[in-house]
Amino acid sequence: MSGLATGARPAELPRDSSFLPDAARRFLAVGGFPGVYAVGETAALGGRRLALFCSVRCPGEIILQTYDLALALRSAGLTVVGGFHAPMERECLDLLLRGRQPVVVCPARSIDGMRLPGAWRTPLSEVRLLVLSPFAPEQRRVTARLAKDRNRFVIALADEVLVAYATPGGRLEQLCREVVAQGKPSLTLASAANRHLVELGARAVTPESFGARGAAGADVAG
């Protein structure tokens, strides 16, 4: 793990790698990505995978529920996948990395030479953290286009997608609309603030339902 001090030295893996789910391989092929870059063991991508998203700004009720969600996911036996860029997403990542469940972090930029936080050292050594990116070494700056591609890559990696909160009319709401159109299970936290996502077709769940059954068996709220 010496690369953590000076910058990541990722492995370059072909887009038809067997550890990638079929949807991710299709995403890479359609997008013209030759492969992916990885820091960590690809075994962390095993098991059932839940993508996690949240808008930059969200109501206080959602903030409290999302903290509870992160704590519940630590014992749910799911692999949590995300970009973990928005403030609430980063808070969730901090909590998840203190647990035992696998986490897959997908930055919206190249990870070649990327300085990785010291807090990632232990989960990387324990084979429960994987840093994964489809972006070439020269794509070192986050852009709106890369963020959009990253979000779709995260969705392609996941079995289910949970949007803790999406600003009405914003980009994340549109992303939720795309997930529902794909027929992939789309979840959101049970709250009046997320009524617009439920109307799009997302299923309202509670943090407690994850702790009890995991995403596949999460109870419908209401």
> DSSP string spanning 160-184?
EEEES---TTSHHHHHHHHHHHHT-
Tokens of 182: 């794909």
Model pTM score: 0.91
Rounded Cα distance, 9 and 69, in Å: 32
Other C-beta atoms closer than 10 Å to the C-beta of 157 total 22
Rounded Cα distance, 171 and 14, in Å: 30
pLDDT of residue 210: 83
pLDDT of residue 122: 92
Mean local confidence (pLDDT), 27-53: 94
Q: Does pLDDT of 174 surpass 80?
A: yes
